[in-house]
Chain A
């Protein structure tokens, strides 16, 4: 059995000064669940009136980020994605708990496959970062954050 859940938190106006609307998605860190993250990203981008190319870009970028993280997630630990919309830009953060602290990027300790994935996601977004921190209960938290703005400019 797999479980997935989404939670929409209350928020102020999308383009105002209040907190950005945030959705949290918690899914098993397995290859079979990545389409869920793609779907949520695509739906959000569509609702923000991103053009079709930008929607495709965001779906692929999220997929690449999640695919990299799934490869290094501790068994049984979830993949947690948060989606925030602010000033017509979508910021997505994906995180797993991992036993290793290698950065899944072209310049990090990732495999050549993950280097290709990082190249794709960095090219398709306006901003992509990866950070690794110590997890409270041992291990590491590996997080990839990416932002894509409507029209390609972060407002």
Chain B
């Protein structure tokens, strides 16, 4: 089960809020929402909020990485925020912290 929503916060910042478990079944929903966010006219920054995500597997990671790459090509900033410890651990052990969470993480 997953709930995903995008919200244009104004100023060109689009927030993708995700809640639930991101796995093989639900990763496509996340992918679609990221695509929608990147397609928002005048989007200059996409933030994926994972605060309510309790589980994320490598498929979910791939979706985030792909989103990050597509954003870069489009000249849009892409950041992942709010990962719970279990999710942050997956991002860390795959060496993707710098790619997804920015230099400050």
Query: Do these two chains interact?
Result: yes
- The yes or no answer to B23 lying at the interface (CB within 8 A) is yes
Given known contacts A116-B94, A120-B90, A120-B93, A64 and B58 CB-to-CB distance under 8 angstroms:
yes
Range class of the B interface residue count: 10 to 19
- CB under 8 Å from chain A, chain B span 47-90: 55, 57-59, 61-62, 85-86, 89-90
Chain A positions 123 through 155: 1 when the CB is less than 8 Å from some CB of chain B, otherwise 0: 110000000000000000000000000000000
Q: Out of B55, B58, B94, which one reaches A38, CB within 8 Å?
A: B55
Secondary structure of the B side of the interface? helix
- The yes or no answer to A109 lying at the interface (CB within 8 A) is no
Given known contacts A34-B23, A116-B61, A123 and B93 CB-to-CB distance under 8 angstroms:
yes
- The yes or no answer to B21 lying at the interface (CB within 8 A) is yes
- Whether the Cβ atoms of A35 and B93 lie closer than 8 Å is no
B94 to chain A: which residues have CB within 8 Å? 116, 119-120
B84 to chain A: closest residue by CB: A56
- Please, how many angstroms separate the alpha-carbon atoms of A110 and B90 in the complex? 20
A-B contact pairs, 30 of them (CB 8 A): A31-B23, A31-B25, A34-B24, A35-B21, A38-B23, A53-B86, A56-B86, A59-B55, A60-B55, A60-B86, A60-B90, A63-B23, A63-B24, A63-B57, A64-B57, A64-B58, A67-B24, A67-B57, A67-B59, A70-B24, A113-B62, A116-B58, A116-B61, A116-B62, A117-B58, A117-B59, A119-B58, A119-B93, A119-B94, A120-B90
3 A-B pairs with the lowest CB-CB distances in the bound complex, closest first = A31-B24, A117-B58, A31-B25
Q: Which residues of B contact A (CB under 8 A)?
A: 21, 23-25, 55, 57-59, 61-62, 85-86, 89-90, 93-94
Q: A63-B23, A113-B59 are in contact. List 8 more A-B contacts (CB 8 A).
A: A31-B23, A32-B25, A34-B24, A63-B24, A117-B59, A119-B58, A119-B94, A120-B57
